[in-house]
């Protein structure tokens, strides 16, 4: 889990259970609908989406996009490292 406190707001990202435990340590709770939405989104590969639009707990799905040619770049890095 990582994040920061920004202008009085606690912003964290990480595994569902880690973030939920953090919220509970702060005296709050994560609604079951947010937990279930997080688990569902983790099983799909769709675009980022906002589940809840309030000041309370919410969910944003992040998706890594692998750029074209990345395999070739890693091959070049490996070749450079083995040449040392």
Distance CA 1, CA 23 (A): 12
- pLDDT over 70, % of the chain: 79
Residues 57-67: pLDDT tens digits?
667 777 777 78
Residues 8-22: pLDDT tens digits?
877 787 778 888 888
* pLDDT of 52 higher than 70: no
Average pLDDT over the chain, rounded to an integer: 76
Distance CA 56, CA 23 (A): 11
The pLDDT of residue 55: 53
- Of residues 75 and 62, more confidence is placed in 75
> Exposed, middle or buried, 32 (CB in 10 Å: 0-12/13-18/19+)?
exposed
**Where does the pLDDT of residue 80 fall: very low under 50, low under 70, confident under 90, or very high at 90 and above?**
very high
* pLDDT of 69 higher than 80: yes
């Amino acid at each position: 889990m990582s994040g920061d406190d920004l202008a009085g707001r606690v912003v964290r990202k990480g595994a569902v259970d880690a973030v939920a435990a953090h919220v509970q340590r702060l005296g709050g709770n994560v609604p079951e609908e947010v937990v279930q939405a997080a688990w569902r989104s983790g099983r799909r590969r769709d675009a980022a989406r906002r589940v809840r639009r309030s000041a309370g707990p919410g969910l944003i799905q992040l998706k890594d996009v692998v750029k074209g040619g990345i395999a070739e770049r890693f091959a070049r890095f490996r070749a450079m490292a083995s040449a040392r």
